[in-house]
Amino acid sequence: MTTAVRIDASRLWQTLQTFATFGATPGGGVTRLALSEEDKQGRDTLRAWAQQAGFHCEVDELGNMFMRRPGLRPDLAPVMVGSHADSQPLGGNYDGIYGVLAGLEVLRTLNDRHIQTERDILLVNWTNEEGARFAPAMLASGVWAGVFSRDYALGRQDRHGISVGEALHHIGYAGERAARAQPLHACYELHIEQGPILEAEGINAGVVHAAMGQRWFDITIEGFAAHAGTTPMNLRRDALCGFAELVLAVEKIGKQAGDDGRATVGMAQITPGSRNVVPGAVFCSVEFRHPELQVLNEMEAQLAQALDTLRQRNLRLLSEKIFDYPPLNFDAGCIRRIEKAVHSLGYTQRRMVSGAGHDACYINRVAPTAMIFIPCVKGISHNEEERISPQWAEGGANVLLATLLLAANES
């Protein structure tokens, strides 16, 4: 193994541009929802590319695709690499799929250079990471890691009532292999940062050592709908005024949580939604994120206090916690390999915490795992304007190659 090995940058960039045609949008992004016809087109192409390179492709019962490059020691646990190919509606060309195609390029490069590894390297394309068509997100990697049951996942439905199981059969990706974790020596996911830090600081690679915990709440604020022209201000039970106070309280909670705190009201529905009716109810979401469990607990307690304050407006408040995702630390050994690989290439690096959820977060529960970030322009993601440079794409894939060579050659 030599750190002088580099991937074929032009080939990687061409595969990225080709994949961007699957579900291309007029605004320069993609809409490639999980298990859609556009997703099938991408899957078929990925499988064809892998098979042309000599890699067997196996599909499990959730549609997860596994492409294997054999090593010299099939008795040893393999090293896994990969991400996802599905996108958000009107999403970007690099979120998820960059990690899959960079993994493919690493395997192609090993073939080109006739480099053998001790361990097998397993490239994976996870199903429904985004959760844009089927909720929740990271559904199939969650089944693989034992977070969700197979039946739960196959029964999830999109807004048209089509289930995951039905969609898998429709596009021909309902495999026979059980969606169940296997022993892994290590797992790596390469991803765009989806934030502005690396670009702003001029750093080549982010070494992701942890991921933020997340808590989601559904909040219902109930007041009383009344005529806007005949109801005096002091007699109103305006649910929207209570909502306005809640939004500001949530913002304050996020700011008090420090630089790593995140607090968002991302969705609201006003009832009855008429210009001459005092709003009688508001349903909204509240989301908190932080890398420390104690701080998340404090943020939740502060939300409860804010809701108690709103009750003084003679409003009825209902709160339900619908998602509780604990903070996590990635594997120290996996992190050390990444840092060693970045150093060997002469690149700059910094340790980072991921503010977004990724498949790697679930895989980390059952196998040693870590992530690598590359810059993206202005941190824009989940948007048609999501962009990376060919140089950033090349650098990240080179880090991945060097990291995988370290891991796959350990006996």
Residue 2 in any domain: the answer is no
Same domain, yes or no: 259 and 189: no
Going by C-alpha positions, the residue among 53, 29, 173 that lies closest to residue 103 is: 53
- Where b means 16+ CB within 10 Å and e means fewer, 196-213 reads eebbeeebbbbbbbbbbb
SS (H, E, C) 305-317: HHHHHHHHHCCEE
Same domain, yes or no: 91 and 13: yes
DSSP 8-state class, residue 147: S
Going by C-alpha positions, the residue among 349, 360, 371 that lies closest to residue 197 is: 349
Residue 368 in any domain: the answer is yes
Bridge partners (DSSP) of residue 269 are: 283
- Where b means 16+ CB within 10 Å and e means fewer, 159-169 reads eeeebbbebbe
Calpha distance 24→214 (Å, rounded): 31
Q: Where does a domain end: 325, 342, 366? A: 325
Same domain, yes or no: 203 and 235: no
Residue 1 in any domain: the answer is no
Please give the backbone phi and psi of residue 318, each rounded to the nearest 5 degrees, phi first.
-120, 130
Question: Which range of residues forms the domain containing residue 283?
Answer: 213-325
Same domain, yes or no: 143 and 204: yes
So what's the pLDDT on residue 2? 43
**Cβ atoms of 13 and 105 closer than 8 Å:** no
Same domain, yes or no: 147 and 134: yes
Same domain, yes or no: 368 and 273: no
Same domain, yes or no: 90 and 29: yes
Residue 239 in any domain: the answer is yes
Going by C-alpha positions, the residue among 135, 116, 139, 115 that lies closest to residue 126 is: 139
Same domain, yes or no: 236 and 204: no
Same domain, yes or no: 24 and 93: yes
So what's the pLDDT on residue 322? 82
SS (H, E, C) 123-143: EEEECCCCCCCCCCCCHHHHH
Same domain, yes or no: 189 and 240: no
Show pLDDT as tens, one digit a residue, over the chain (411 residues): 344 699 999 999 999 999 999 999 999 999 999 999 999 999 999 999 999 999 999 999 999 999 999 999 999 999 999 999 999 999 999 999 999 999 999 999 999 999 999 999 999 999 999 999 998 889 999 999 999 999 999 999 998 999 999 999 999 999 999 999 999 999 999 999 999 999 999 999 999 999 999 998 999 999 999 999 999 999 999 999 999 999 999 999 999 999 999 999 999 999 999 999 999 999 999 999 999 999 999 999 999 999 999 999 999 999 999 888 889 999 999 999 999 999 999 999 999 999 998 999 999 999 999 999 999 999 999 999 999 999 999 999 999 999 999 999 999
195 is written with which tokens? 């934030």
User: For the chain, how far is it from start to end, CA to CA, in angstroms?
Assistant: 14
Q: Where does a domain end: 325, 354, 386? A: 325
Same domain, yes or no: 144 and 231: no
Q: Where does a domain end: 271, 291, 325? A: 325
Q: Which helix (H) or strand (E) holds 336?
A: helix 332-345
Going by C-alpha positions, the residue among 367, 372, 411, 410 that lies closest to residue 393 is: 372
**Cβ atoms of 256 and 306 closer than 8 Å:** no
So what's the pLDDT on residue 50? 98
Give the start-end residues of each E strand in 212-291.
213-222, 226-227, 262-264, 268-271, 277-278, 281-290
Calpha distance 221→280 (Å, rounded): 8
Same domain, yes or no: 335 and 291: no
So what's the pLDDT on residue 137? 87
Residue 384 in any domain: the answer is yes
How many domains, in total, are found in the chain? Answer: 2
Calpha distance 251→261 (Å, rounded): 10
Q: Compute the C-alpha angle 272/278/283, nearest 5°.
A: 50
Count how many residues are written for the chain: 411
CB neighbours of residue 48 within 10 Å: 11
